[in-house]
Structure 1
Amino acid sequence: MSPVVEIEIWTDVVCPWCYIGKRRMDSAVAAYPGDVTVTYRAYQLDPTPVREPQPLVDALAAKFGGPEQVTAMTSRVTDIAAADGLRLDFSRAVAANTFDTHRLIRWAGSHGRQAELLEAAHRAHFTDGVDLNSHDALAGLAAEMGLDAASARAYLASSDGADEVRAEFAAARELGVSSVPTFVLAGKYAVVGAQDSATLLAALEQVARREAAAA
């Protein structure tokens, strides 16, 4: 009997490659004949506070050398995402600091809905133009999946979960995670980047064989 493969995924909500990587790992897990557990870990590409809503393309242009460079970048990733069934609309996206979104994802995890809220947050940011800096907007995402919006809003208004999210940032540094998505299988095998589903499936199968042999 194959051992259960534990998968930890370091990810950030505003990372398009993380959204693509999640979809591809979902496909790999669906095709994998054994059992897995999947836990998402928090990572921040940019911890800079966002003081007021700003179009993402403007924020990217200021960081990466202007509108032309951003158009080339976003067009490429949009086409790749479309091939995986994801629609990205960078023209609607709003720049966001994701700390509170990570906190709420942890909260949803305590209700068994971590992956669902992460998926909803990705879609809200990249497709629907939702401002993830807004606690009301985040509580609305929780409500859409049947969780209590008032409880979500109260959680966000508190400091609950902040230390745990910071601990995951620290764990990423200790592991040497410097880009996302990073998939860590069985606590010791890392796969970096939004690899295709076949590659992720092969990695799962190989790790399962190694773990079974070691046992």
Structure 2
Amino acid sequence: MTPYEQLFQNNRLWAEEQLRADPDFFNRLAREQRPDFLYIGCSDSRVPANQIMGLSPGDVFVHRNVANLVNNVDLNVMSVINYGVKHLDVKHIIVCGHYGCGGVKAAMQPRDLGILNPWLRNIRDVYRMHKAELDSLEDEARRYDRLVELNVTEQYTNIIKTAAVQQSFLARGYPTVHGWVFDLRNGLIKDLNLDFRETLRNIQEVYDLTGTVWR
């Protein structure tokens, strides 16, 4: 059996296991999804969204790309946010980076990476905005980890800039946006404890898309 063929064998075994544990599992899964969580993460194969949060299929709406970017001209991520907020009524949006991110590391290196250049420039812009802090870190590994955290913070802010999030929060009091980092070295999620309401207040003078001032 080839590695590709093994995937179908794995799938059959998985489906049988789910039915043994819960005969109604797939009946529930086939119904309309109503997840509370929208997860925006990195495409890295070592960071599976559902598993690291201990959630089952149907519990989390997922978007992944290289280095978990939220770029306002990326119709893919913007469509996911809009659909998640306006149609799935997600209560929480999580942008999750991870230590050891290849995209972030690539952005730290002065190399021409071809088609990746415009994508990674978003991370290089984060480095530029925080250059003094990052350059003050003599340990390269710590500088790398810190850029991962700062990149998450920037993408978290980009989510709050969107009309869908602002309008929904004003009308319904949700979603709340969160910034996380997954640590491959111990399997734990680090909550950056970013203050959603404070961030919203701080950016609304420029990015408010509702005409309403939050207090």
Q: TM-score, normalised by structure 1?
A: 0.29
Q: Which has the higher contact order (CA 8 A, sep 6+)?
A: 1
Q: Decide which structure has greater strand share.
A: 2
